[in-house]
Structures are given as C-alpha cells and as structure tokens.
A and B are shown apart, each in its own frame.
Chain A
Amino acid sequence: MSDVVEKTLTALPSLLSLDSQTVATKLSSTSKLGALIRGITELRSKHEEEKLIQRELASLKDQVSSPHTSMRQMKEAMVRAIYCEMLGYEASFSYIHAIKLAQQGSILDKRVGYLAVCLFLKENHELLLLLVNTVLKDLQSTNLIEVCMALTVVSQMFPKDMIPAILPLVEEKLNHSKEIIRRKAVLALYKFYVMAPNQVQHIHNKFRKALCDKDPGVMFASLHIYLQMIKDNPEGYKDLTGSFVTILKQVVSGKLPMDFNYHTVPAPWLQIQLLRILSILGKNDKHSSEIMYEVLDESLKRAEINHNITYAILYECVKCIYTIYPNSDLHEKAAKCIGNFVISSKINLKYLGLKALTFVIQQDPKLALQHQMTIIECLDHPDILIKRETLELLFRITNAQNVTVIVEKMLEFLHQSKDDYTTIDLVGKVAEIAEKYAPENKWFIETMNTVFSLGGDMIQADIPNSFLKLLSEGFDNEEENKKLRLFAVDSYVSLLEGETRKLPQRFLQVIAWVLGEYSHLRTDLDPAKVMTLLSKLLDIRQISSETKTWVLMAMTKLCSGEASISKAQSVCEDYRSSSDTVLRQRAHELQLLSQDPALRGQLLPLHRGSETLEVDFSLSFLDAFVSEALAAGAAPYKPPHQRHEELAQEKALSLEPYELSLPINMSSYSVSGRQSPTLMSGSSGLSGDSTELSAKGSSATLKLEGVKRVWGKEGYLSKEDPVEEVAQVETLSPLSSPNQPPGAGRTLSNAAAPSETPEPQQEKLQLASSLFVGLSLQTSVCLMGQPEPTAQRFRRKAKTPNSSSSALPERVSVAPVPTSSVDNMLSHDPLEATSMLPEVTHETILPPNTEVNALLIDTANSSPSPSNGVEIPFETSENEIAKTPKHECPVRSLPPDLLGLPHTKITSLCSSQTLDVSACHVEKDDSVSLLIFTSNLSDSDMENIHFSFSTEQLQVSLSSERPLHEILKHSNAVCEYSLTVHAPAIHFQMVGTLSYESSSQSREMEFSYKLPLSSFIRPLVISTEQYGTHWLDFSNDTKQNLALVSEGQDPLTDTLNILKRKLGLHVVEVIGLEGIAACRLAQDQPCLLHCRVNAGTLAVWLRSPVPKLPDCLLYHCQRVLEET
C-alpha cells in the first residue's frame, strides 16, 4: 500500500505543477483574495490603497465575527488578513480567530490557522497562551501531519513559560519511527534551548541520542543544538571532538546518500555546521586541534569545483584553520585559499577574501603585504561595501608610520557615508588609532576635529570623554602637553570665529571645556574675546541646554577682567530664571563667582595641580550609606556592563561582538598563539609592552578593538626614524623567523618602491608603500617584540599627587638610560626573566641603537643576581607556603613526585596512643593536594581505612595513585586527596572522619583541617590587552583601599611584588601609579586586580566572573600587606 501511495505522491508534483498556473489565474479571477490583489494593483495612490484596505478590513471584521462563517470561509478570510498585514495594515481583530481556526478547523484549516498565528503573533503575545492546548492536542495526534504542524509552530514561537508543559511530548517524539518527526522534534528542542537553555538542561543525553541517529537528517538537526551548547561551554564537549571529526570525514568522502548532495557537493550544510563546531572545540586547544588537522586538509583538497557552495566550505575551513591551534602546513594552504578569494573577479568572493584577510591579519601580517596592490584597488572600489571592508583591514594594520594615510582614507570614506551605524563605528576607530599613533599635535587635533564634526551627536560618549581626559591628564612631557593644549585652543578659537551653527553639540561641549580650561595658556588671547565667542554660542537656536551648561561653566572659569564680567552679567540675566534647573544653577554660580574674584581664584585656580583633584575611586566614603541602603532593602549596584548584559539577554538578541577567537580557557593563554609557550609567558613578563607582542602572536587578537588602550609602556619617546630602526633591529637580531630570512620584511615593503611604472600605477605604488610601511616590521615582531617607535605618542599618565615631573616612578622610566627600566621590569618577575635571558635578551628588549651596549651589559649583569630584593627569604607562618621544599619530618616525608612542589608544614591533626594523623597540603599547578599521614602506633594492623570529609566549599576527591586500605602495625602511610574549590571562601574548613578497623573493632576519629584561599591561587599569565578584554567581561567586583608597603623607592612595585610573592599573583604591568595583576583559582577561574596609588594608599579593585572570589582574595591581599 505504502508503495502505491509513494508512487502516486511522486507523480503528483508534475500533475500539480501542470495546472498550477491555471490554478493561479483561476484564483486571481474568482477568489476574494484575487479580487483584492487585483484591486490594489489598479490603484494609483497610496491614499487610495489605504481606503481600499480599510474597507477590506471592515468587511473582514464582519465576516470573522459572524457566527455563520464556516471554517472554510474563515480560512479564506485569514489569508486575506495575512495579506493586509503584510501590506502594513493592522488586522488585530483576526488574531483570536486565527487561534480558533488552528483549534477547531479541519487539518487544512488548521494549517492556515497555524500559519496566521505564526505571522501575526510573536513569542510574548498574551493570546499565545490560548494556543498551548491546541498544540498539546496536536502533538498527541495520530496524524503525522498534525504532529508536524504542531512541531513547526512550536519552533516558530512559543511562550517561554509554557515550554515545560509540552516538553515531555516533544521529547517523546525523539523516539518516533518517522525521521521527519524526529528531525522536527530536535529542531523544536533547539529552539527551546536558544530561548531558555535551563529548561532543557536535563535532557542533554537525549541530544546525544539524536546525534547518533541513524538518519543523517536527524543527526544534522542535532548539530544545531550542539553548536549552541558547545559555544556556551566548549570544555564540556571535548570528548565529542573525535566523533565530529569522524562524521566530517565520512561526509567529505561522500558516504552520505545522494539525496544530501547539493550540486554534486556532499551535504555542504552539514560540512559547514561541523566546521563551525570544530573551530570552537579546537580554539586554544592543541590536543583537540591535532585531531582535526587531517580532515581539514582533506576538506580543503576536496572543495575544488568552481561553485559557490565549495567556496562556502572553503571559507568556513579557512576560518576554522585560523581559529584553532595553528598548524603551519594548514596555514599555508589556507593563506593560499584566502589569496584566491582576494584576487577573484567575483565580487562576493573578493569581499569574503578581504574579510578573511582582516581576520587573520594579526596572525599573519605578511599576507597583507602579498596582496597590497589588490587592497589598494579595493580602496577605490565602486562598491562601498568593499571599501568599508578594506578600511577595516587597514585599521588592523595601522601603526605609527601609516596612520596618517589610513586615517585620511577613513575620513574620506566618512565624508561619503550616509549610514549611521557605519559612521559611529568608523569614527570610533579613527579616534582610537589617532590617539594611539598620532605623529604630531596639529595632526591629532585636526583629526579629532573632523571626528567630532563628522561623528555628530551619535558619536560614542567615550570619545569626547577620553579626548578631554587625555588633554587634562596629559602625558609625561609638560612642554608637549602645553603645546597640544595650545593647538587645541587655537584651533577652537578659529572654529568659533567661523560658522558655528552646524557644529554638533558634543563638539561644542568639548570646545567650551577646552577654552574654559586652557585658553589662559595663550597669553596674547584676551579672555573677553573668548567670552564673546562663547556667549555667541548661547544664541544659536539649535543648541541644547546641556551644551549651554557646558558653556556657562567655561565662562565661569574665564570671567576675569571688566569686559568679561559685564559679559557674564548679561548672560546671567538671561539664564537666571531659566526653566532648566541645572542651567539656572550654573547661571547663579557664574554670577556669584564673577563678582567675587577671591572666591573664584580659590575654587578654580588657574594652574591647578593634580592634587586638588584627588578622587577616591573606590568611593569608600559611601560605604556606610550603601550598607544602610542595602539593609533597607535596596537592590545591589550592578555595573553598567552587567546591566547591559542582562538587558541583552532579556531581548534575546545576541549583541556580542565577533567572538571568533577569544580564548575561553584562561589557562591556555600561555600556549595560545604561534609562539612557544615559554616564549609567550616569558616575554609577557619581560617586555614592558607585552600587549603589542601578544597582539601579534596570540590568536586572541580580534577582540582588541573596542578595548580601550589605556596601558602602554612608560618611557620617553625619542623621535627616531622608525624605518632606520627596523634596519638596525634586523641586523642586530641573531634570531629571526625561520620562514623569513633576515631583511625579508624590508624587501617586501621596499618592493613597492617606484621603478619603471606608468603614472597611475606609480601613484598606487606610492600609496601602497605608505600604507604598508611598518608591516614588514610587524612580521619580525612576531618573534622579537615590539620596536619602540610604533608605541603610542600619547601615553596616558597616571594622576600623581605631586606634579608629574617630580614623581618618582615616572622618573625611573623617563630616565634617559633605559637600563633602569629594564631592571624595573626584571624585578617584576625574576624567575621568568632569568630563565628567559639566554635566548631572548636582545629581541625582547629592543633598545634604541645607541644604548644597546649599555643595555646588554646591564642585563647581563642583572641576570645572575636579580636586584631589588628579589631574594628576600620567606618567613613561613603556619598557613604560608614555603616555595622551597623542606623536609622536617623524615618519617612523614612527601611522596617523591610531590617533593619539588611548594607545601605547608606537616601538622598534627589528631593523635591518640595508637594513632597519629597529620596532614599538609601541596600546591600543584592545577589543584591542591591534601596529604594525610597516618601512623599506626599500635601493635595491631589497621584495616578498612576510610576517610570522609564534609566541606561545602571544597570538592574532595581521592587521588587514584595512592589508595589506602590498611596500615600494618608500627608503620606509616600517606594518602592523597585532591581539592578543588566549589565556592570561594576566605578559609576552607574541612572536617574529616577517619574510620578504620583495628583488632576487629571499628573505630572512628574526627579531625579538622583549615587551609586558606591563597593556597588555591595561581598566577595567571596574560597580556595587558587580554586583561583589558576580560576586565570588561567580569561582573563581580570589589574595591577597597589598602595600605601601601613602603620599604623601597617604589612603593607600588614593592607592594605588588609582595602580593606576587605571597599570593602568587602575576603582575601584568605597572605604569606610573597604576598596576594590574592577574591570578586564577586552580581550576581556571580568573580574578583580575587593578590598583592605583592614591594619597598614600592603594586603591585596589578586583574583578572576577566568580562570585565572592574578589572579596575573599581582597581579604588575603589585605592580610599579606598588613603582615609586612
């Protein structure tokens, strides 16, 4: 029977399609929908259409609410209602009838009913509750089509809260005999997982069953769920890597039924899904990645046919290859592939090629050099999209030498662009690189002027903020500061003298502030003139009252001299009775202060030192208020990013940036990227500018944008010719990358040098050489660290209590002899530094040429005996750990394999005449081991020994290597338990019970053991850039002021060193009066520390994704510092 049906079914399409056209024409002439559609096409104006539809809707309303309308008519009416809605007219009266139709209609009416419901309502519509019962009924139907419909509607939209009601029924369908039902059920569950992951948590094992389904379609459907789950928790599914690789292998080699082929390519959708899964699994995971190399190679090889679909696979392959742990062979092939994309004449491929290039550029800057001419051509491409992507690419390769050209190109684009999103994004990028690499003051101010005028008022708020901050805090060189401010003042005065009406509000605010603050620097500028210019702004009609406030504040700072004061008075007259309260207050302030010069001088001193602006960043003075409010039931404060996250979750929109290569596993930082782990971790400790190094080296680079680059290396920037320096560097370095002979980079960039080429070509070549200059240098950077000249011009200076020139920490780095700063860096991390020295001294610390010798000598000297009190002997308190192994108790010595590890003193836990139990704990790399030494002092053997522990915050598991069952008389035994932290606490208290049998009597003994959180803390080696990224991601934070340790010359470094030594923090970087450090709990749970010297105390700010961890760690920091 089924065969017969099958045959008639296959014959049907031809039958249907034969008369479908006639059906269509028939429909159009007879049905009401046809009439409606024809009616609309005959109309001339929008107005007529509106009238017609309103008429139609009115008649529809009558029809659906009439009790005599049959289901069939209702179905027809529903179709018309859908049509009206599609045209943009609301037909809400029909919603309830759509649900009714789905409920009561025959199977076909139902289909339309469900369709209408899907199109009319969205997930949270209240009417959807009425649908739940219908869906429940249909899910239980014996008719497959009804079940299919129900599953479809469920996957389209279903109220979140009602998922539990239908979940069992959907789950049941996973065992259905028809694959189409199983497939739809899996997809419905996928949708549930996306909507409410916790609702389907308990059925993860069923997903595994779906993955193993004998039907490839069902298996494919389950991959959607897996992709999502693996994205959320890559660690949990590493065991499936092999399976996914096997599936991909089978697909690639054509083992699936022909049905799955698409244009002779085997199951491309399946391939791409698998590649995406693999790239997540292999990210920063060498072991998993190695499993994939072969199949990736195979995929690249197989995808040969010249068809879109193979390009799709290739593109995904390339992305995967550059995301997982690198393999040079694959990289080479993928690079070739990207090359083919970029030079392709097909515009879609070119675009994707550029995107891929942007993606890999930081790992492989050479690629950009290879394609520089194509990139130049793309800059002038008629398609704006290609241009935009090219700029994105250039943004990634910006350095101090090509910044002017790149910014020029970006601004050029901005002038043409009309799309707000693009403008906001691009303006932010221009501001970022301008600040980072500005070659001179004038250029910087002018560029920022353009940024402000083009960005308008959509500009991200942090651009003007950080610009003003840069101006006010300045950088190391007072003279330069003054020059920059003067440029700004001059530029703004001339701007205000011109046409001001078109200037955006944000820009006006910046101008007002700068003039108020710094116009006195220009001594030949009459304050009254500035006052007049400012007051003119107030007369502009479009000016917002917020801007007016800024202007009034600027005037308050400026009003000295008779002319100014009278100007101020007249302005006050205008605004003293303004309806805007803030404005009114400012006007009053202005009036009062302009009349009282003494008070004004006191409040707003002209040459203000930074000490007047001391800010308690931890806001500790509010603590009492906060705790009071909390006690009164106020909601705890959530930082903006956390609020934003929650908001984003609520909206169910993924607002995350491209997360192709953010390492999730923190512990693998040191091995990510293309460098050897030792080089990575060593150099991040050694080179001051570790951010740059890791930016080139690790794969964690693509999230750099958007992360503010507040941290740079300290030190005076001598203005040397960068290109020259490259040459020096290269001749100096004995090490250079194996696949690149020394000087190769230079040849590449010089390849663009003009030779006998036609005129327009020559222009392009020139552009190329100006764009790609310094890139060759970055290639060598991969191995050698960041050369000096590409570092920032504007280095943020930490605000100092004293004026900056006399501040000590700065003095150290500003000092012309670089050796001291090297010393400084070495002392942060003596162990790593010394171990690194033999190989990388010359490369990591790139000296300006003239000082090379001095430096080399100095580093050589410092290597055998690291300075600055590194070798202070440890005082071991009870809980403190001696980093050198000790043997105090020969009887109870550590097992040989743990001997080298830091451990505590062995302390006695409990003892009796027959038994003695002692313990200590050993800090291993990833866990803490508790060693329990049991001595049987009696004359009989102990048997059936069993330890049990009760502790809430720790997880205790027996290390399998040392099980313990019996102890013979007068002998000792040791057993090892591995401890991991469940929930952080300041101290972990464990209560243990030892049960055993001795002389056939069972006995028990209780003991307790306490260990501090600090035992679980391990250094986390990350770069400043990574630090920056994570800082924003972590939501649990705590702040407090701690005492500074002042034993040496540099209190901050000393304090951090103590934290490093005693708690095992990794000091990421110290700049001026700020320092950052990172650590992790033994199982990969990171905690970041930021501290800042503030009025003799240390404002410490800790952040972590783990609740309570910052608080607990802070306690230990405090304790450690108080002890010293």
Chain B
Amino acid sequence: MMRFMLLFSRQGKLRLQKWYTATGDRDKKKMVRELMQIVLARKPKMCSFLEWRDLKIVYKRYASLYFCCAIEEQDNELITLEIIHRFVELLDKYFGSVCELDIIFNFEKAYFILDEFLMGGEIQDTSKKSVLKAIEQADLLQEEDESPRSVLEEMGLA
C-alpha cells in the first residue's frame, strides 16, 4: 500500500501531499522536509528508489517537479514508478501538456484526479479514459451549478 505521495518543486516547495495513513502534523512536516532534502540532493543518473526509515521511496522528476511516493517493504518499486507516470499522463491529458503552474493554481483539481486514480493508497482505476471521464463528469456540474437536480441525475454516470 502506498503510504503517501508528495509533489514538490526543484526549489523544495511542496505542491501536493496525500497521506494514506494517519500521520501527525509534526511528523508529516519532518518527513517532508527530510525527504525533500534527500531527494533533491540526488543526481539525475541515480537510482529512482531509496530505502528510508522503514519505507521505500520511489521518486521521479518531471521537468521542475518531483513526484515522490512512499511504499511498503513488500510493494513493487517499478510498478510504483509507473503509477507516478500514469498520474502524470492523467494530469497531462486533463490540463493539456501540464506544467508546474497548472498544478500550483489548480491544485484542488490535481487532488481530484489523484483521488479518482488512487483510493486508500491502492490503485483504483487503471484506465486513463475512465479516470478522466469520472473527473469530467464532476467538472461538468460546475458549469451547470444552478441546474435543477433531475438534470444532474441524468448527467450522473449514465
């Protein structure tokens, strides 16, 4: 199971954080700070995996943004790398060639996509199409915010 996912910039600014197990605020801050330090210090050609505390860290850099996941001992590192990649693909498709700015200004959207993709630390939907479909259906409501309920239901997931 994934323990948490962090997105942070090359400058060490946190852009997104998702925790799948209950963690105290102080611990969170400490872990984020420590991890950023370790990951940012690593050189580009180095291994994408780390053993850190009792966790395995899988990270990958896309442009100026680092995607960093913590998984448990028995989890598969390579597939986690692909989870990151799939998440980036989803963001890319949704925002249209995504950049760090998109995520900064629309971070709540990024969270929605992540929630549709991973649930409780496990991958929920592996199909790019259906994840985006679910997100867009919810987004659609935004436009029709004021419309009556019955129409909403029609829109639902028909």
Contacts and interface: CB of A to CB of B under 8 A. Distances in A.
A466 interface: no
Interface stretch (A14-22, A557-565, A854-862, A906-914): A14-22
A843 B154 CA distance: 78
Contacts of A388: 51
Interface in A488-503: none
Interface string A13-47: 10011101100100110000110010000000000
A107 B79 contact: no
A28 B102 CA distance: 10
A17 B93 contact: yes
By CB atoms of chain A within 10 A, which of B47, B107, B140 has the most? B47
10 contacts: A17-B95, A86-B107, A106-B145, A111-B112, A145-B157, A262-B86, A276-B74, A348-B81, A352-B49, A660-B74
A107 B157 contact: no
A16 B136 contact: yes
A37 B105 contact: yes
Contacts of A142: 153
Interface in B115-158: 115, 119-120, 122-127, 129-130, 132-134, 136-142, 145, 149, 152-158
B119 to A, nearest CB: 5
Contacts of B153: 142-144
A157 B132 CA distance: 24
Contacts of A20: 94-96, 102
* Smallest CB-CB A-B distances: 6 pairs: A17-B96, A312-B78, A2-B158, A123-B22, A155-B120, A191-B120
Given A348-B81, A658-B73, A157 B119 contact: no
Interface string A265-289: 0011110100010000000000000
B62 interface: no
B21 A421 contact: no
A94 to B, nearest CB: 14
A88 B29 contact: yes
A285 B57 CA distance: 32
Contacts of A112: 108
By CB atoms of chain B within 10 A, which of A1, A224, A658 has the most? A224
A1 B150 CA distance: 14
A383 B93 contact: no
A642 interface: no
B96 A18 contact: yes
Contacts, number: 212
A183 B120 CA distance: 12
B40 interface: no
B119 A269 contact: no
Given A190-B122, A348-B78, A386-B47, A82 B102 contact: no
A328 B52 CA distance: 35
Interface residues of A, number: 94
A260 B140 contact: no
A313 B72 CA distance: 17
B23 A122 contact: yes
B14 interface: yes
B157 A309 contact: no
Contact of B78 (A188, A221, A311, A656): A311
A260 B46 contact: no
A347 interface: yes
A178 interface: yes
Contact of A259 (B78, B106, B129, B158): B129
Given A37-B104, A184-B119, A386-B47, A308 B82 contact: yes
B78 A13 contact: no
A180 interface: yes
Interface in B12-68: 14-17, 19-25, 29, 43, 45-54
A308 B105 CA distance: 32
Given A142-B153, A144-B156, A268 B137 contact: no
Nearest to A310: B78
A5 B142 contact: no
A316 interface: yes
B127 A348 contact: no
B1 interface: yes
B124 A184 contact: yes
Interface stretch (A616-624, A632-640, A647-655): A647-655
A251 B150 CA distance: 40
Contacts of A991: none
Interface string A171-207: 0000000101001100110110010000000000000
A467 interface: no
Contacts of B107: 82-83, 86
Given A184-B124, A653-B21, A312 B105 contact: no
A79 B105 CA distance: 10
A347 B45 CA distance: 8
A152 interface: yes
Given A82-B108, A652-B22, A269 B79 contact: yes
Given A86-B14, A316-B76, A152 B115 contact: yes
A83 B14 CA distance: 10
Interface in A102-154: 106-108, 111-112, 115, 119, 122-124, 142-145, 148, 152
B138 A24 contact: no
By CB atoms of chain B within 10 A, which of A13, A87, A107, A347 has the most? A13
A108 B145 contact: yes
Contacts of B78: 308-309, 311-312, 315, 348, 352
Given A13-B94, A86-B14, A108-B145, A187 B122 contact: yes
By CB atoms of chain A within 10 A, which of B94, B102, B140, B158 has the most? B158
A669 interface: no
Nearest to B3: A653
A17 B94 contact: yes
Contacts of B125: 183, 217
A90 B127 CA distance: 37
Given A83-B107, A108-B145, A308-B78, A267 B120 contact: no
B96 A269 contact: no
Contacts of A421: 52-53
B81 A308 contact: yes
A836 B65 CA distance: 64
A148 B112 CA distance: 12
A108 B49 contact: no
Contacts of A10: 133
A108 B142 contact: yes
A9 interface: yes
B147 to A, nearest CB: 11
B76 A262 contact: no
A183 B124 contact: yes
B124 A187 contact: yes
B130 A259 contact: yes
A726 B117 CA distance: 57
Given A111-B112, A352-B77, A385-B46, A5 B155 contact: yes
Contacts of B141: 107-108, 145
Contacts of B129: 259
A385 B49 contact: yes
Given A115-B112, A145-B156, 10 more contacts: A5-B155, A28-B105, A107-B152, A115-B108, A152-B115, A190-B120, A308-B81, A352-B78, A383-B45, A385-B47
A351 interface: yes
Contacts of A655: 54
A1024 B82 CA distance: 42
B145 A268 contact: no
B154 to A, nearest CB: 7
Contacts of A268: 79, 82
Contacts of A262: 82, 86, 126
B77 A348 contact: yes
Contacts of B106: 24, 27
A12 interface: yes
A566 interface: no
Given A37-B105, A388-B51, A312 B82 contact: yes
A661 to B, nearest CB: 11
A17 B102 CA distance: 11
